[in-house]
Structure 1
Amino acid sequence: MKYRNLVKWAGLLAMVLTVTIGFGDFASSVDAKPQKQSVTMKTSTIGKVKYYLVNDENDLRAIGKGNYPLSANYMLNHDIKLTKEWVPIGSEEHPFTGKFEGDGHVIDKLHIKSGKVKYAGLFGWVEGATIHNVTLTHLNISAKAGGAKKSAGAIVAIALDSKVSDCTIKK
C-alpha cells in the first residue's frame, strides 16, 4: 500500500530510539507461552453487525486464531486482567481489519517486554479497522531498538486507513 513507505521511514526512526512506556507496577510473572484452553465466544448482534463477545483473557488472546478471524468484530463484555505477557493482535503480514469495541470495559496489566515484538501494543498492526472505547490500565511496554521497523503504541503500534477513537490509558 502507499502507506507502507511511511511505515518504513517511521521504522528507521524507531531504530534509533528505545521506547519504554510504563504506568504502575506490574507484579505478576510473565510467561509468553500460549495457553492450551479451548475458547468458545458467544456472539451478539447489534443492528446488523455481529460481534464476538470477549469475556476473559483467553477470549482476547484467541482473536486472529482458529474460528476468530482478524476480519471479525469483537466487543469486550467484561473487564479483563492479563496474567501473561501480551502478544499484539495483528501483524504486517496478517493485520487486524475488523472492529473492536471496548464498550466501557478495562484491560488491565498489558505487558510487553520481548525484544522480538516488532509492533508493540494491544494491536500490533491494523488496516481498515475500527477500534473504539478501549481503556488500558497499568500498561508496561518495553521495545528496544536494534532491528528494522519497530513501533510501539499503547492501543495500536501501526494503524493504516483505520479509525481509533475514545481510547484511554490510565495508571
Structure 2
Amino acid sequence: MRKKDRQKRSKLLRQIGIVALTFLMVLGLLPGLFQQGVVQARSCYEMTEIDSNNVEWNLISTPEELYCVGEDANGNYKLKNDISEADMSTFLNGGSWTPIAYEVEDESEPFTGRFDGNGYSISGLKTTDENQNDVGLFSDLYDAEVKNLILNNVSFTGNASVGGLAGSISNSRIEGVHISGNIQGNRRVGAYQGFLITVNILIIVLTLW
C-alpha cells in the first residue's frame, strides 16, 4: 500500500509540474502575442497614433499622462479627451500642479515639442507657492507649438514669470488657445505667459477674474 501511495504521489507531482511549466511558457508568450498589431506607447502613455505625415503622437487622457509630458520635452502630444476639474483635483490631492518641464540634474529645460489640444479642455490646474517662478501649464516654451487647447478655471499663483499657458514663451507658435481663470504673481505676470519673446500667436481667447 505504501509503495502504491508513493507512486501515486510521484505521478501527481509530475502532472502538477507539467501543468505549471506549460502555464509559465504560455505567460512568456503572451506579451509577444498581445504586442502584435498594437502600437505600444513609450513611457506612461497607454496609446499612441501615427498621422498621415508618419508623425507619432502620444495620446493624453488623464492628469497622470499630462504630467508625463515632462519626460520627453521634445515629443508630440495630443489630448484624447477632456480632463475634468474633478480628475485634476484627485490627481493634485490638495497639492499644486508642477509646470511641465524636462528636469536634467536639477535644472529645468523648456518644452520644445508639439502639443495639440485637439479641441479638448484641461480644467482645474492650480499652483499655490507664492515664491515659485516660471508658472503655468508649462514652465517654459521654446521653439514649441501649442494649438487647439482649452484651459478652464486655472488658478496660478507664483512669484515671477507667471502665465496661464507658460511662465515664459519664446520662438514658438501658439494657435487656438482659450484660457479662463485667475493668475497672480509679483513680476512678469501675463494672461497666457509671464515672459514673451518672438512668438507667432493666433486666436488667443482669455477670460480672467
Using structure 1 for the length normalisation, give the TM-score.
0.68
* Greater relative contact order, per chain length (Cα 8 Å cut-off, separation 6+): 1
Identity of aligned residues (%): 27
Q: What pairs with 1:4-19 in structure 2 (closer than 5 Å)?
A: none
> Which residue is 1:70 aligned to?
73
| 2:56 aligns with one of 20, 42, 50 | 50
Contact 2:45–2:60 at 8 Å: present in 1 too?
A: no
Shift of 1:116: 4.3
Q: 1-side partners of 2:65 and 2:143: how far apart?
A: 22
Paired with 1:117 and 1:143, the residues of 2 have a C-alpha distance of 5
Map 1:87-126 to 2 at 5 A: 87-90=98-101, 93-126=108-141
1:117-156 paired onto structure 2 within 5 Å: 117-144=132-159, 150-156=160-166
Residue 160 (structure 1) aligned with residue 170 (structure 2): yes
Q: Unaligned stretches of 5+ in structure 2?
A: 1-42, 182-209
Higher helix fraction (1 or 2): 2
* Cα gap change, 1:100 to 1:115, in 2 (>3 Å): same
Q: Distance in 1 between matches of 2:46 and 2:144?
A: 20
Return the alpha-carbon distance in structure 1 between the equivalents of residues 114 and 145 of structure 2: 5
Q: Which structure's residues are more often strand, by fraction? A: 2
Partners of 2:169 and 2:46 lie apart in 1 by 26
Runs (4+) off by over 4 Å? none
RMSD: 1.8
Query: What amino acid is the match of 1:77?
Result: K
Cα distance in 2 for partners of 1:107, 1:100 equals: 13
Counterpart of 1:33 in structure 2 is none
1:170 aligns with 2:180: yes
How many residue pairs match? The answer is 126
Which has the higher mean CA deviation after the structures are superposed, 39-48 or 123-132? 39-48
